[in-house]
Chain A
C-alpha cells in the first residue's frame, strides 16, 4: 500500500497561515476518522499535533488545526512562528490494524 501524498514543501511569513494537504484513498483517509499529524524538528523524534482528524492533545497550541474532506486531510498552521519551521507528517489508519504515513512536508518560515 502506497504512502499518503503530501506536498514536499510549503512556506509562509511570520503571522501568516500555511495549509498542508495529505491525500489518500477511500480505503484509508476517506474511510476512517483516524488521521493524525506530527511535527518533526531536525534530529528529533516526531511529536503528535493532531489526532482523529481535528483533535489536539493537551499542550498543543490552537494555532494548529486539522480537517478532512473526502480522501484528503489538511493541517493548517495559523499565525506562523519561527519555531514552526519543521517537517510535518500525516498518518492514517488503513484498516486491519495497518497505518500509513505521508512522505512529509517541509515548512519554511520566510
Chain B
C-alpha cells in the first residue's frame, strides 16, 4: 500500500524558509510516469497547486510562487522536499504532498501538515 507522509516544522518565522519533506513508502519514487507534488490549503480556503518534480529532477512550479519555491528529490531516501523562501503570514496553510500519474492528477495524498508563519 502506497503512502505519503509529510514532515517538517509547524512554525516558521516571517522572512525565513519553509522546508517540508514527503516520504514515499510502498512504492518506488523512481517509478516512471509519476510526478511528486506539493499542494497547499490556506485555512478555510481552497486548494493551490505549488509544483511537482519527476524523479530525474525535472520540476514545474506555479508561476505565482516560482520566484520563491524549489522542490527537490532524494531517491536514496524515497523523499521529495519543498522549500519556500521569504515566507509571510500569507503562507500559513496546510501543506499536502500528492502523487500525479499520467493523466490521473493527485490520486494519492498525504495527510497534510499545518505550517504557521508567525514571529
Contacts and interface: CB of A to CB of B under 8 A. Distances in A.
Interface in B95-119: 96, 103-107, 109-112
Interface in B53-80: 60, 62-64
Interface stretch (A9-17, A40-48, A68-76): A40-48
B44 to A, nearest CB: 10
Given A34-B103, A57-B104, A98-B63, A47 B46 contact: no
A48 B46 CA distance: 15
Contacts of B60: 96-98
B62 A98 contact: yes
Contact of A57 (B39, B107, B109): B107
Interface string B14-54: 00000000000000000000000001000001111100100
A52 B109 contact: no
Contact of B46 (A52, A97, A98, A101): A101
A3 B46 contact: yes
Nearest to A51: B104
Contact of B106 (A1, A48, A52, A104): A48
How many interface residues does chain A have, given as a range?
20 to 34
Contact of A47 (B39, B62, B109): B109
Contact of B109 (A45, A51, A101, A102): A45
A91 B105 contact: yes
Nearest to A47: B109
B104 A48 contact: yes
12 contacts: A1-B64, A3-B48, A34-B103, A36-B106, A51-B105, A89-B47, A91-B105, A98-B60, A98-B63, A99-B49, A100-B49, A101-B46
Interface of B: 39, 45-49, 52, 60, 62-64, 96, 103-107, 109-112
List of 6 A-B pairs having minimum Cβ-Cβ separation, nearest first: A97-B60, A45-B109, A101-B47, A99-B49, A103-B46, A104-B46
